Structure 1
Amino acid sequence: MPIRTEKIRRLYALGYALAAIAILAVAFFLQPSEKGIGTHRQLGLPTCGWIVAADLPCPTCGMTTAWSYTVRGEIPTAFNTQPMGMILAFIAMGIAIGGIFVAITGYSFAPLFFTFPPSKLFIIGITLAGAAWGYKILLHKGYI
């Protein structure tokens, strides 16, 4: 495996930051749906097939709406819309800030990555996503 030079590592970081900023910018320019789902339709995407077929939200229902609320600073509304979407928007913000920081200073976050084993992060991520999906189902069905 080739060793990355300092310049290449900084360029990668800048690329990650710009990608995160682009996604956050799209979320900012979308008008969040007050229904909690459907904001993605502004991107030309179809209505969620799960909602149409089974009147049940899919695991990602409400994420675009939650991102749109999060970038506007409407955190409680974002959380109520889709908790995992809010978390992912914050992660994207962290990637944007961290990527710019690395590109400017050359600092390495590598030691941080070795602090948290990927398997544990995966389990935490799946658990949070499942809980958020369950919450969205309960919200959609009117139990919350």
Structure 2
Amino acid sequence: MTEPKSLDDEIDRSADRPRPARRARLIGLAVAGPCWAMLAAAWWLSPREELAYGTAEQMGLPACSILVRTGYPCPTCGMTTSVSAMAHGKVALAARAHPFGIALFALAIVFGVAGVVQLATGRDVLGRMRARWWWLLVVLAGVFAGWGWVLYAGVLSGKWPIK
């Protein structure tokens, strides 16, 4: 590593390095943007109350191929409906569609607000909520527990399998 030749060289080099506040603001934007976009899309969609799944088809997405082929939902079937139902204040529908969607909705609000605060202040707010390895396990357990509930309730009510 060579020493800078003058103070001007050092100033030029420091301009190339990301500043902590600038980096924090970019991370805040990278987190807040998708969270608020998801929440806006959830509010824009109309949750399908009669089925408690299939809301994603309003965005032009195809029906779940696992559901179409087997008659049983995949682990994330109903998640879009659940989050959309929460955006419309329909908690019972959200719980029926996929219980983990309620947690996903709440997490999107928490991380969306934290991202906006970090974007506005430049402070590392999200760094304090740093992901740990066990977060993945908690999320996966939540998704699969919600899926188990959807399957259990659907089989008991005769909703699954789709014929």
- Asked if TM exceeds 0.5, the reply is yes
SS in 1 for 2:74: coil
Give the C-alpha shift of residue 40 in structure 1: 0.7
Q: Matches of residues 121-136 of structure 1 in structure 2 within 5 Å?
A: 121-136=135-150
SS in 2 for 1:142: helix
Give the distance between the partners of 2:67 and 2:156, measured in 1 at CA.
Answer: 14
- 1:24 paired with 2:24, answer no
Q: Matches of residues 3-82 of structure 1 in structure 2 within 5 Å?
A: 5-34=20-49, 35-82=51-98
Query: Where in structure 1 are there 5+ consecutive unaligned residues?
Result: none
- 1:111 paired with 2:125, answer no
- 1:88 paired with 2:104, answer yes
What is the letter of the counterpart of residue 48 of structure 2? S
Give the C-alpha shift of residue 143 in structure 1: 4.7
Give the distance between the partners of 1:106 and 1:9, measured in 2 at CA.
Answer: 5
Q: 1:86 to 1:4 in 2, by over 3 A?
A: farther
Asked if the contact 2:39/2:87 (under 8 Å) is kept, the reply is yes
Aligned to 1:99: 115
What is the letter of the counterpart of residue 118 of structure 1? R
Asked if the contact 2:79/2:98 (under 8 Å) is kept, the reply is yes
Query: Where in structure 2 are there 5+ consecutive unaligned residues?
Result: 1-16, 159-163
Asked if the contact 1:57/1:140 (under 8 Å) is kept, the reply is no
Give the distance between the partners of 1:134 and 1:4, measured in 2 at CA.
Answer: 46
SS in 1 for 2:72: coil
Give the C-alpha shift of residue 126 in structure 1: 1.5
Give the distance between the partners of 1:48 and 1:140, measured in 2 at CA.
Answer: 16
SS in 1 for 2:95: helix
Give the C-alpha shift of residue 5 in structure 1: 2.2
Give the C-alpha shift of residue 118 in structure 1: 1.8
Asked if the contact 2:82/2:94 (under 8 Å) is kept, the reply is yes
Please, what is the CA RMSD of the aligned residues?
A: 2.0
TM-score by length of 1: 0.86
Aligned residues: percent identity? 30
What is the letter of the counterpart of residue 128 of structure 2? P
Asked if the contact 2:21/2:123 (under 8 Å) is kept, the reply is no
